Every structure is written in structure tokens, then in C-alpha cells.
Amino acid sequence: MTTEKQRLQGRSAAHYFDDGPASARLQTTVALTARTLGFPTAMINILDTTTRHTINLIGAGGGVPLAREEVLCDVVVNSGRPLEVPDARADPRFADLPSVVRGEIGCYIGVPLAGRESFIVGALCVIDPRPHDIDPDVANRLMEFGRIVEDQLDLVRRLDEQRIDGELAVAELAEAIAQEQIVPWYQPIVDLPSGRTVGFEALARWQHPSGEMHDPRRFVPLAEDTDLIVDLDLLVMRRAVADLRRWQEINPDLRVNVNLSSRHFNIDESAAAINDAVLKAGVSPEAVDLEITETTRLNPVRAAQVLGELREAGFGVWLDDFGTGWSALDYLLRLPVSGVKIDRAVSIALGSRLGNALTRAVTGLASELQLVTTIEGIEKPEHAALAYELGCNYAQGYLWSPPQPAGAVDDALNTPGPTHRA
Ligand code: C2E
Ligand code: MG
Ligand code: MG
């Protein structure tokens, strides 16, 4: 019968069946154990509820899965103590085991291996087909090797858990996109210095079933690692243009900015998919600015082609997070860009010589190239004034508003006042 302890032990054992990089280290340790102790065979055996699995083996012996009752390591795991058997054939507990009868096991020493949950998950053992006396020092040395193997098994276990966590997270995010749990929140973009709202940036938020609202730092990087970001961007875009359509009934000049990962450029027909999403909502592409976010993996040739089509269709194309990487300068030259967003890393330095010089350099470059600029992350009125003096056209930041749900924008637009009406 399987006890609860055995069941948990079996579940812990499953973590260690790994062929990854850590198993090469285990192999080295097992080889060193056999050589140092002068035994022809050494192995790491992991035992689940019913079966012995050999995960590393040096020397002779099949290492095929065997029933627990047939192996000496079963005694080690059950007792949690080392086992020394100088002559298995002469030991009534083991004399009838098939491997002993076949002459594969004469002398055996095994030490228990604890997993991190402190269950004994298996044994490290050395075997000699010839029976012989066991030097006490040999058993102690095997214990020391056992500690090393435990550390290495812990690494295997952690790698395994990370892989499972990663796969689960991707599956959960895919489900969240399919269920439309990801929605845009909106942050106003204001004209400097009038402070009038000219549009909104749509920023993804995940309404997690746990009730928590996750911000994009929690899930956009994971989405960026897969093509999920493409579906995520299109979901946010569809929702954003539907909201814009409603808001334009109150203020027809309002615009919306959506973030677009460079992953779109590796996909055929991505310009058509973006264009379709906007036209279906009854919004003109002229009212939509695409912010190119993640440029590290951008293929400039493909990007120039797709963005060229989108500019042709009327979309604005902005380089996001400008000032955080020098490669962006190269993209300015190669991509059909209409504006740049100056990153918060620059705006927080406003007022210092370097911050002012950087801002002036970017706005100077932009105006040479007939581009417009938006500065992000403005929190103080004096920084807004300075940004305007230094040549920025638009700004965003907590000074005006943090990102808010669509309903808050509806409320503001339906409340008569100067802020949101052009
Ligand atoms: P971003 O596009 O550069 O957006 C600006 C970020 O700065 C937003 O963070 C916004 O909430 C934050 N922010 C704005 N004003 C201030 C301020 O005054 N102070 C401070 N401390 N922060 C301010 P958020 O919403 O967390 O978005 C982070 C990033 O995630 C975005 O940076 C963008 O790169 C990415 N992201 C968001 N939504 C999407 C999406 O739908 N698609 C893609 N591909 N990326 C997205
Ligand atoms: Mg952005
Ligand atoms: Mg940005």
C-alpha cells in the first residue's frame, strides 16, 4: 500500500528526471565517486512510489527501471540510513534478489539522498560484483559524495521548477489574451504649454482573475519572448480604437497611441492586420499613432517595409523610449518615423546640465528632421515648463494624470470643462 509519505516522496522524485546541463555535472560526480572509492560501478538511483530509476551510472549494470523490492537502495530509502553489505550472496535479506543471483552485486554500499523537501528521494551507491570487506573510511567518503550529489540534485530540481513555471505562465497569459482579460488604460498626452489633451496612450493592464490588476512590467516581457505580444498588441489596439470612436463623438480631433512590439515586423501581413483592426472600428488611421517599443530585436529592413505601408495608410509612427539606447539614432535614419517619445530616463534629469543638454539635442535633431517630440514621465510643473522651453511639443506624466481605465476618460469627456476639449 502507498503511504502518504511515499506518495509525496514519489512526487518529489519526479523533479530529478532531467537530461539538462546539470546532469553532466552529476555524471562527473558519479565517475569521481567510483574512481576515488575504487569501485567499478557507481550510480544515482531515484525511487518513486514503485520503481527505481537510475539517473546516472558509471560502470557495469543495466540501469533499467526496476521494482523497488528488487533493489538494495530500497532499504536505504526506507530507513534513511547508509547500508553496507560486504557480501550480498551471504546476506539472507538480499541473497534471492535477481541481480545478486546473477552475480552483478557482491559488495554494496549505499547512502541516502535527501531532496530539498527533506524526503529521501534516492540513494548514491557503489557496487562491486566481488564481495569484499568494507573500509569504514570508504563509507564516510561515500557520505561526502552524497552531500555533493544532493546539492547538484537541488539544482536539477530548481531548473525543472523554473521550466514548469515558465510554461505555466505562458499558458496562463495566452488564456488571458483569449479571454480578453487584458485591457487598455489611458494616459493623456497634452500639448505644451496649453496643457490641452490631444490624445491618449493606451497602456495594457491585466485584470487577473485573482482580482489583482497587473501592470505591463509583470507580463509584457514574457509576451515579448513569444509571439503572444502580437495578439496582445492587437487586442489592446482593437479595444483602444473602439474607445476612441466613442470619444471622437465628443471631441473629433482626439487621437490614440498604441504600443507596437517589433515582433510584428517578422510576421507577414502585419500591416494589413493593424489596418483592418482600425478600419473595422470606423476610425481613421490618421488618428492612430503607433509607438515602436522594443527595438533590440528589430530587423530594420523588415521594419522599414511594414512601417512604410502603415505610414502610407495614414498611421503615425513614433519611436518610444528615445534616449535609452544609441541604436535608436540609427532607426531614426532608416525608418519612416513621424515623431519621437523622449524617455523618462531623460525627463527625470531635467534641470541638470546633462538632462537639459540631452533634451535640447533630441528636440534639435527632431526639428531638423521635421519630427515632433513628446516627453514622458513629467511629474513637476517646473519640468513641464522647462521641457517646453527646450523645444518639446507634447508631454505625458503624472503631473496631468496616471493611466486610468476607459470609464474615467468617458467621465472626464462627459464633464464640461476646458481640459479634454480641443
Ligand atoms: P511606455 O510605452 O514608455 O509607457 C510609459 C510608461 O511610463 C507607462 O508605464 C506609464 O504608466 C509610465 N508613466 C507615465 N507617466 C509617468 C510619470 O509621470 N511617472 C512615472 N514614474 N511613470 C510614468 P506602464 O503603463 O507600466 O507601461 C510600461 C511599458 O510597458 C510601456 O512603456 C510599454 O513599453 C509597455 N507596454 C504597455 N502596454 C503595452 C502594449 O499594449 N503593447 C506593448 N507591446 N507594450 C506595452
Ligand atoms: Mg509607449
Ligand atoms: Mg516610453
pLDDT digit string (tens) for 151-204?
A: 888 887 777 777 767 776 888 999 999 999 999 999 999 999 899 999 999 999
- Looking at residue 28, its pLDDT comes to 85
Residue 342 alpha carbon to ligand 2 centre in Å: 10
**Distance (Å) from CA 203 to ligand 1 centroid:** 6
Task: For ligand 2, an ion, list residues with CB under 5 A.
Answer: 259, 291, 320
Q: How far is the CA of 417 from the centre of ligand 1 (A)?
A: 27
pLDDT of 401: 97
| Mean pLDDT, rounded, for 3-14 | 56
In this prediction, residue 249 has a pLDDT band, given cuts at 50, 70 and 90, of very high
Residues 333, 338, 343, CA angle at the centre, nearest 5°? 85
User: Which atom of ligand 1 lies closest to the CA of 184?
Assistant: 41
Amino acid at 90: A
Cβ–ligand 1 distance for 401 under 6 Å, the answer no
And the C-alpha cell for 378?
513629467
β-pair type (255-260, 197-207): parallel
Has residue 62 got a pLDDT over 80? no
Query: Distance between CA 74 and CA 76 in Å, rounded?
Result: 5
**CB of 216 closer than 6 angstroms to any ligand 1 atom:** yes
Report how far ligand 2's centroid is from the alpha carbon of 22 (Å).
40
- Angle of helix 228-248 relative to helix 406-414, nearest 10 degrees, comes to 10
Alpha-carbon distance values, 399 to 20, 379, 394, 402 (Å): 51, 4, 13, 8
The percent of residues above 70 in pLDDT, for the chain, comes to 91
Task: Quickly count: other Cβ atoms within 10 Å of residue 355's Cβ.
Answer: 19
Confidence at residue 362, expressed as pLDDT on a 0 to 100 scale: 93
Residue 253, C-beta contacts closer than 8 angstroms, at least 6 positions apart:
198, 422
Do 289 and 339 form a contact (C-beta atoms < 8 A)?
yes
Of 177, 183, 190, 203, best ligand 1 pocket probe by most atoms within 8 Å of the beta carbon: 203
CA proximity to 107, closest of 124, 89, 93:
89
Q: How does the average pLDDT of the chain come out, rounded? A: 89
Ligand 1 contacts CB of residue 379 (under 6 A):
yes
Q: Tell me which ligand sits closest to the C-alpha of residue 318.
A: 2
User: Does the CB atom of residue 215 touch ligand 1 within 6 A?
Assistant: yes
Q: How confident is the model at residue 84 (pLDDT cuts 50, 70, 90)?
A: very high
The vertex-109 CA angle with 128 and 5, nearest 5°, equals 135
pLDDT the model gives residue 3? 53
Which of 232, 290, 376 for mutating ligand 1's site (highest number of atoms within 8 Å of CB)? 376
Rounded to whole angstroms, the Cα distance separating 205 from 257 reads: 15
Average pLDDT over residues 57-77: 88
pLDDT tens-digit readout, 399-419: 999 999 999 999 999 987 655
**Mean pLDDT, residues 316-329:** 82
* pLDDT score, position 12: 56
| Residue whose CB lies within 8 A of the most ligand 1 atoms, among 177, 215, 220, for a mutation test | 220
Q: Is the CB–ligand 1 distance for residue 129 below 6 Å?
A: no
pLDDT of residue 57: 87
Q: How confident is the model at residue 349 (pLDDT cuts 50, 70, 90)?
A: confident
Ligand 1 site, residue 231, Cβ cutoff 6 A = no
Instruction: Give the pLDDT score at 307.
Output: 96
CA neighbours within 13 Å on the CB side: how many for 97? 24
**Has residue 366 got a pLDDT over 90?**
yes
Residue with cell 519572448: 225
Partners of 91 in beta bridges: none
- Amino acid 34: pLDDT: 92
Residues 419 and 401: their CA atoms lie apart, in Å, by 12
Contacts of 282 (CB under 8 A, 6+ apart): 245
The larger pLDDT score, comparing residue 6 to residue 196, is at: 196
For the residues 220-241, what does the mean pLDDT come to? Answer: 93
Q: In the predicted model, is pLDDT for residue 1 greater than 50?
A: no
Q: Which has more confidence, 294 or 231?
A: 231
- Kindly indicate the confidence band of residue 113, based on its pLDDT and cuts at 50, 70 and 90: very high
Query: What is the distance between the alpha carbons of residues 201 and 92, in angstroms, rounded to a whole number?
Result: 79
Mean pLDDT confidence for 349-362: 91
pTM: 0.70
Confidence bin at 421 (pLDDT 50/70/90): very low
> With a 6 A CB cut-off, is 396 part of the ligand 1 pocket?
yes
Report whether residue 289 contacts ligand 1, using a CB cutoff of 6 Å.
no
H-run or E-run covering 258: strand 255-260
**For residues 94-117, average pLDDT:** 92
Q: Domains, the chain, ranges and CATH? A: 4-161 (3.30.450.40), 165-420 (3.20.20.450)
Asked if pLDDT for residue 6 goes beyond 60, the answer is no
Averaged over 344-369, what is the pLDDT? 91
pLDDT at 322: 87
Q: Is 376 in the pocket of ligand 1 (CB under 6 A)?
A: yes
DSSP labels, 10-66: HHHHGGG---SHHHHHHHHHHHHHHHHHT-SEEEEEEE-SSEEEEEEEESSS----E
Indicate if the pLDDT at residue 61 is higher than 80. Answer: no
Cell numbers describing residue 75 = 532499504
Strand arrangement of the beta sheet that strand 41-47 belongs to: 66-67, 51-58, 41-47, 120-128, 107-114, 83-85
Residue 49, pLDDT score = 87
Tell whether ligand 1 has an atom less than 6 A from the beta carbon of residue 229: yes
**Nearest-angstrom CA–CA distance, 283 and 279:** 6
| Backbone phi and psi for residue 321, each to the nearest 5 degrees, phi listed first | 55, 35
259-276: pLDDT as tens digits: 999 999 988 899 999 999
